[in-house]
């Protein structure tokens, strides 16, 4: 008799809890049909930009990625956009778009091809790039590590071993003084979350490991490296503005009546987003002290793409299409287009009480069917958030042009410019023109 009472009460309690979750935590969605996407206004000081990363555009690299591409027999990055030779022409595209800033990264493997051996010629090329941008009135934002690093560093175990962090610090303090007279905005590392989970848990980035514990350890080490580099560089140049790019992916329960899906959501949100925010805010991460990381940022860079609907059976690879809501538009990559998430992501980051720089946002869309709308929805959202008082200072669209999309190779195209890899011709897409005219009208408005 008694066990039926227990069962029934448990069931009732469960229903009440899920009912309350539904009421108090609905998934945030807007009715885009009823929104006028042209109704946007940005402050005059707002920074309009585009972003790229060295390994994805330069070509001719030799680093942990080229090694991985060969070892796993993946599509080779090869010549990529041949940007190393065509950068002057590519800078003209920036002028054509009318951006006021350009985020790009420095390829550590070019600067220090062998341990302790510095390639002054490569440093000069980056230096020329910086001069060229400034001459065009475009402010550089430099990323020091965007997923790629020298093979010798990888072979020592890369960021997996804490004693290797000194090498990253050496590289950063070596090149920083060459540019700090002309560059104020710096990102130490790009997406510690994506870098560690994709490389050490999902096995889709080098070194191709599959261990959640290793991923967590690497994420922690990358944050420690960030913190140490931040303090060193600030000492060298106190006026520089240094942060990192954080990928905020929002995890939502696939079935909102299923408590297991909620539990997965809480866990993933903590592992992916919460831990990194906590390291910067409190100097604690995964229950351990990372005290130099606390306060080690002048801004927080936000790379925002999507939300992921989770259940305990989430695919452990990105090769499978993720679930989406019925009314959501799904991208080529198989992710839902979810501009609403920007509001949730920035709210989360607001805990840090730092200016927010949107260091990346974009979509894979070779035919450019979604991108114009994608761009307008996200800009509408940002305009609204700024009006509501969120301190967003910039928007860097990912990406200037099609490029080497890591595990997906050249199959995914994120560019405002289409790249014909045979002829290395860049052609502006409609979305590029859309961005160009938005920048123009906002700058003059």
Angle at which helices 371-387 and 341-349 cross, to 10°: 40
Q: Which is nearer to ligand GBH, 283 or 377 (CB)?
A: 377
Instruction: Give the separation between CA 304 and CA 288, rounded to whole angstroms.
Output: 27
Instruction: Give the separation between CA 150 and CA 14, rounded to whole angstroms.
Output: 53
User: Any idea of the CA torsion for 282, 287, 289, 290, to the nearest 10 degrees?
Assistant: -70
Instruction: Give exposure, 63-73, as e/b (b: 16+ Cβ within 10 Å).
Output: bbbbbbbeeee
Q: Which of 154, 191, 357, 405 is catalytic?
A: 191
Q: Which is nearer to ligand GBH, 245 or 442 (CB)?
A: 245
Asked if 360 is an active-site residue, the reply is yes
Under the criterion CB under 6 A, does residue 251 sit at the interface with ligand GBH?
no
Under the criterion CB under 6 A, does residue 273 sit at the interface with ligand GBH?
no
CB of 194 to ligand GBH, least distance (A): 5
What stretches of 184-298 adopt beta strand conformation (E)? 185-190, 241-253, 284-285, 288-289
Under the criterion CB under 6 A, does residue 305 sit at the interface with ligand GBH?
yes
Establish whether the linkage from the previous residue to 399 is cis, with ω within 30° of 0: yes
The pair phi, psi for residue 107, each rounded to 5°, is: -90, 105
Number of H helices, E strands in the chain: 15, 12
DSSP helix/strand/coil, 57: helix
CB atoms within 10 A of CB 20: 10
CB of 66 to ligand GBH, least distance (A): 16
Q: Return the residues of window 410-429 that contact ligand GBH according to CB under 6 A.
A: 414
Instruction: Give the separation between CA 425 and CA 423, rounded to whole angstroms.
Output: 5
CB of 335 to ligand GBH, least distance (A): 3
CB of 51 to ligand GBH, least distance (A): 8
Q: Are 112 and 104 in contact (CB under 8 A)?
A: no
Q: Return the residues of window 284-303 that contact ligand GBH according to CB under 6 A.
A: 303
Under the criterion CB under 6 A, does residue 102 sit at the interface with ligand GBH?
no
Instruction: Give exposure, 105-127, as e/b (b: 16+ Cβ within 10 Å).
Output: bbbbbbbbbeeeeeeeebbeebb
Q: Which is nearer to ligand GBH, 42 or 304 (CB)?
A: 304
The pair of three-digit structure tokens given for residue 67, joined into one six-digit string: 């090694």
CB of 340 to ligand GBH, least distance (A): 14
Of 190, 221, 278, 394, the one binding ligand GBH by CB under 6 A: 190
Q: Return the residues of window 61-90 that contact ligand GBH according to CB under 6 A.
A: none
Q: Return the residues of window 320-349 that contact ligand GBH according to CB under 6 A.
A: 331, 333, 335
Q: Are 46 and 394 in contact (CB under 8 A)?
A: yes
Of 247, 273, 343, 373, the one binding ligand GBH by CB under 6 A: 247
Which of 307, 308, 306, 312 has its CA nearest to residue 258?
Answer: 312
Asked if 121 is an active-site residue, the reply is no
The pair phi, psi for residue 336, each rounded to 5°, is: -70, 145
Q: Return the residues of window 370-409 that contact ligand GBH according to CB under 6 A.
A: 398, 405
Of 42, 46, 49, 53, the one binding ligand GBH by CB under 6 A: 53
Under the criterion CB under 6 A, does residue 438 sit at the interface with ligand GBH?
no
Instruction: Give the separation between CA 23 and CA 202, rounded to whole angstroms.
Output: 35
Per-position DSSP letters for 215-229, written without gaps between them = HHHHHHHHHHHHHHH
The pair phi, psi for residue 133, each rounded to 5°, is: -65, -50
CB of 403 to ligand GBH, least distance (A): 7
Of 106, 222, 363, 379, the one binding ligand GBH by CB under 6 A: 363
Q: Which is nearer to ligand GBH, 159 or 398 (CB)?
A: 398
Of 58, 90, 107, 360, the one binding ligand GBH by CB under 6 A: 360
Q: Are 395 and 404 in contact (CB under 8 A)?
A: no
Of 306, 346, 383, 394, the one binding ligand GBH by CB under 6 A: 306
Q: Which is nearer to ligand GBH, 139 or 365 (CB)?
A: 365
CB of 333 to ligand GBH, least distance (A): 3
Q: Which is nearer to ligand GBH, 346 or 399 (CB)?
A: 399
Q: Are 399 and 339 in contact (CB under 8 A)?
A: no
Q: Binders of ligand GBH: how many residues, by CB under 6 A?
A: 18
CB of 198 to ligand GBH, least distance (A): 7
Of 63, 101, 109, 364, the one binding ligand GBH by CB under 6 A: 364
Q: Which is nearer to ligand GBH, 53 or 381 (CB)?
A: 53
Q: Residue 362 belongs to what H/E stretch?
A: none
- Catalytic residues, by residue number, are 191, 360
Interaction site with ligand GBH (CB under 6 A): 53, 56, 190-191, 194, 247, 303, 305-306, 331, 333, 335, 360, 363-364, 398, 405, 414
């Amino acid at each position: 008799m008694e066990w039926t009472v227990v069962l029934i009460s448990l069931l009732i309690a469960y229903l009440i809890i899920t009912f309350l979750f539904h009421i108090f935590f609905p998934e945030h969605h807007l009715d885009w049909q009823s929104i006028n996407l042209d109704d946007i206004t940005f402050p005059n000081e707002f920074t309009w930009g585009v972003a790229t990363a060295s390994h994805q555009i330069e070509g001719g690299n030799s680093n942990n990625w080229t090694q991985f591409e060969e070892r796993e027999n993946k599509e080779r990055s090869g010549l990529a956009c041949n940007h190393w030779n065509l950068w002057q022409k590519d800078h003209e595209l920036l002028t054509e778009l009318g951006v006021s800033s350009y985020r790009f990264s420095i390829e550590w493997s070019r600067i220090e091809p062998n341990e302790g051996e510095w390639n002054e010629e490569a440093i000069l090329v980056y230096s020329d790039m910086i001069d060229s941008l400034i001459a065009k009135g475009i402010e550089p934002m430099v990323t020091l590590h965007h997923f790629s690093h020298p093979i010798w560093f990888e072979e020592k175990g890369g960021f997996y071993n804490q004693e290797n962090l000194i090498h990253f610090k050496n590289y950063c303090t070596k090149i920083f003084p060459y540019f700090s007279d002309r560059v104020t905005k710096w990102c130490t590392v790009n997406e510690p979350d994506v870098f560690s989970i994709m490389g050490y848990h999902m096995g889709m980035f080098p070194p191709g490991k599959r261990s959640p514990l290793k991923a967590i350890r690497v994420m922690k080490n990358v944050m420690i490296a960030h913190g140490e580099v931040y303090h060193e560089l600030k000492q060298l140049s106190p006026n520089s503005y240094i942060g990192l790019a954080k990928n905020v992916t929002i995890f939502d329960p696939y079935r909102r009546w299923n408590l297991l899906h909620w539990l997965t959501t809480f866990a993933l949100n903590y592992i992916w987003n919460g831990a990194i925010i906590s390291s910067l805010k409190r100097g604690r991460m995964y229950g351990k002290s990372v005290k130099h990381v606390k306060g080690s940022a002048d801004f927080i860079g936000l790379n925002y793409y999507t939300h992921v609907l989770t259940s305990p059976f989430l695919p452990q690879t990105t090769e499978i299409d993720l679930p989406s809501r019925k009314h959501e538009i799904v991208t080529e990559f198989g992710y839902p287009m979810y501009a609403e998430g920007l509001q949730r992501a920035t709210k989360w980051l607001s805990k840090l009480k730092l200016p927010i720089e949107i260091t990346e946002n974009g979509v894979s869309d070779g035919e450019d069917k979604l991108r114009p709308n994608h761009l307008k929805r996200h800009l509408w959202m940002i305009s609204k958030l700024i009006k509501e008082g969120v301190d967003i200072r910039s928007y860097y669209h990912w990406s200037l042009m099609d490029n080497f999309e890591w595990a997906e190779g050249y199959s995914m195209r994120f560019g405002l410019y289409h790249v014909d890899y045979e002829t290395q011709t860049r052609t502006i897409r409609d979305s590029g023109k859309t961005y160009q005219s938005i920048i123009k009208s906002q700058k003059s408005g």
